[in-house]
Chains A and B, each alone.
Chain A
Amino acid sequence: SAVISQKPSRDICQRGTSLTIQCQVDSQVTMMFWYRQQPGQSLTLIATANQGSEATYESGFVIDKFPISRPNLTFSTLTVSNMSPEDSSIYLCSVGVGDVVYNEQFFGPGTRLTVL
């Protein structure tokens, strides 16, 4: 398994501002992901955070809005840029443990973001 921490745990922000969320893992992992969970909804993958290269974004998510850094195998950040009330969600960091094909994913505690 993996122990994952996220900062901040929650925040209330004004529209037009940006927030950077940090994700720290207790061991080196190859696979790291960022998810969004809008109120009352399921989880949607934003992007895969690749160490040493640009993140891979899912359809509907762009780097200008959600820039991601992955400086090493234990840490990543997700920035939510130029926020609007529609960005109010829980943002979760996740890591895959195992090999590339067969791996189990674990999730951090999430960052609960409210945009006014």
Chain B
Amino acid sequence: GIQVEQSPPDLILQEGANSTLRCNFSDSVNNLQWFHQNPWGQLINLFYIPSGTKQNGRLSATTVATERYSLLYISSSQTTDSGVYFCAVKGPIKAAGNKLTFGGGTRVLVKP
């Protein structure tokens, strides 16, 4: 099946700093999503981005499908950005089934 690797595994930021999270995947994808899991365990959809660039407030994401990676940018970080960020991908149905595969996550702590 598809392999999904996220880096870095842990990130400590000072409030106001910018950061970039990376997601590498091993095969072509039909679906790529970024999630934020807050300290209460809720998974929040950030982006559905199988290709291209999207922005939502202080967050933006870029997926370069031909090179099999995606980047999540956090600008002017706030303490509420703390939590775990997951990248998840879904490959072609014939090869991988209709299955969303998650990366290991990046644990982010934003200090005031």
Asked if A104 is at the interface (CB within 8 A of a chain B CB), the reply is yes
Nearest A-chain residue to B84, judged by Cβ: A42
Find chain A residues with CB under 8 A from B17 CB. Answer: none
Interface footprint category on A: 20 to 34
Tell me the smallest distance from the CB of A41 to a CB of chain B, in Å.
8
Nearest A-chain residue to B103, judged by Cβ: A42
Tell me the smallest distance from the CB of A8 to a CB of chain B, in Å.
14
Chain B 37-79 interface 0/1 with A at a Cβ cutoff of 8 Å (1 = within):
0000111010010100000000000000000000000000000
Q: A43-B102, A48-B98 are in contact. Are A109 and B42 (CB under 8 A)?
A: yes
Number of inter-chain CB pairs below 8 Å: 50
**In the bound complex, what is the Cα–Cα distance between A42 and B9 (angstroms)?**
12
Asked if B93 is at the interface (CB within 8 A of a chain A CB), the reply is yes
Find chain B residues with CB under 8 A from A103 CB. Answer: 31
Asked if B86 is at the interface (CB within 8 A of a chain A CB), the reply is yes
Asked if A115 is at the interface (CB within 8 A of a chain B CB), the reply is no
Asked if A92 is at the interface (CB within 8 A of a chain B CB), the reply is yes
Instruction: Check B102–A102 contact: CB distance below 8 A.
Output: no
**In the bound complex, what is the Cα–Cα distance between A102 and B29 (angstroms)?**
10
Asked if A31 is at the interface (CB within 8 A of a chain B CB), the reply is yes
Asked if B104 is at the interface (CB within 8 A of a chain A CB), the reply is yes
